[in-house]
């Protein structure tokens, strides 16, 4: 679990700095995200599959500290496909997304989370998307999509 520590700013004063456990992703952090960018998103059937993927990523030299995990019903609430849980700005963002293909992606992810699955987002450069996507699929992932700058590429069948 990440902790916070008080640090002295070089120009004076103090600030809180987060001390994350090295190589540990966070689960169900309640933060509204417009959409991933330069990331792979994937659904995994259970926490065991998530742990297997993370172990394989670590073994392959992938820094998993920036991986984000949404898990189960709480993850579905945080995903918030309508934006209702996160205020007016989030509702406007989701309304605009629902005019395009993002509505379908959000619906699939929301349904899977509601059924107890996990959603991983893994930052990665475009050059690594197929390699990391193959690891995810080998561990039972579905709905694997690479989100580039303004694009979404499906790496598996829906």
Q: Is residue 3 included in any domain, yes or no?
A: no
Between the alpha carbon of residue 81 and those of residues 7, 39, 75, 94, 137, the distances in Å are 37, 19, 11, 6, 24
Domain that holds residue 124: 22-154
Q: pLDDT truncated to tens, each residue of the chain (158 aa)?
A: 333 334 443 444 443 333 334 468 888 887 767 677 899 999 999 999 999 999 999 999 998 999 999 999 999 988 877 777 767 877 677 766 766 667 678 889 889 999 999 999 999 999 999 999 999 999 999 999 999 988 889 998 65
Q: Is residue 12 included in any domain, yes or no?
A: no
CB contact at 8 A, 133 and 155:
yes
Work out how many domains the chain is built from and give that number.
1
What is the spatial distance between Cα 34 and Cα 94, in angstroms, rounded to a whole number?
8
CB contact at 8 A, 28 and 70:
yes
Q: Is residue 49 included in any domain, yes or no?
A: yes
Q: Is residue 147 included in any domain, yes or no?
A: yes
**Strand 68-71 and strand 26-27: pairing?**
parallel
What is the spatial distance between Cα 117 and Cα 120, in angstroms, rounded to a whole number?
10
Would you state the pLDDT for residue 32? 66
DSSP state letter for 85: G
Q: Is residue 17 included in any domain, yes or no?
A: no
Q: Is residue 91 included in any domain, yes or no?
A: yes
Q: What sections of 80-150 are H helices per DSSP?
A: 88-97, 102-114, 129-138
């Amino acid at each position: 679990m990440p902790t916070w520590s008080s640090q002295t700013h070089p120009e004076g004063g103090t600030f809180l700095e987060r001390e994350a456990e090295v190589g540990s992703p966070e689960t169900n952090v309640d933060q509204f995200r417009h959409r991933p960018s330069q990331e792979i998103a994937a659904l995994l059937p259970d926490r065991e599959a998530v742990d297997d993927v993370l172990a394989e990523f670590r073994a392959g030299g992938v820094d998993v500290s920036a991986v984000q995990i949404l898990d189960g019903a709480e993850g579905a609430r945080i995903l918030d496909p309508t934006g209702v849980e996160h205020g007016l700005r989030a509702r406007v963002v989701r309304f605009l997304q629902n005019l395009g293909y993002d509505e379908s992606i959000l619906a699939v992810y929301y349904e899977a989370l509601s059924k107890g699955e996990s959603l991983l987002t893994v930052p990665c450069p475009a050059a690594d998307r197929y390699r990391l996507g193959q690891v995810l699929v080998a561990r039972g992932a579905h709905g694997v999509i690479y989100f580039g700058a303004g694009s979404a590429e499906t790496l598996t069948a829906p």
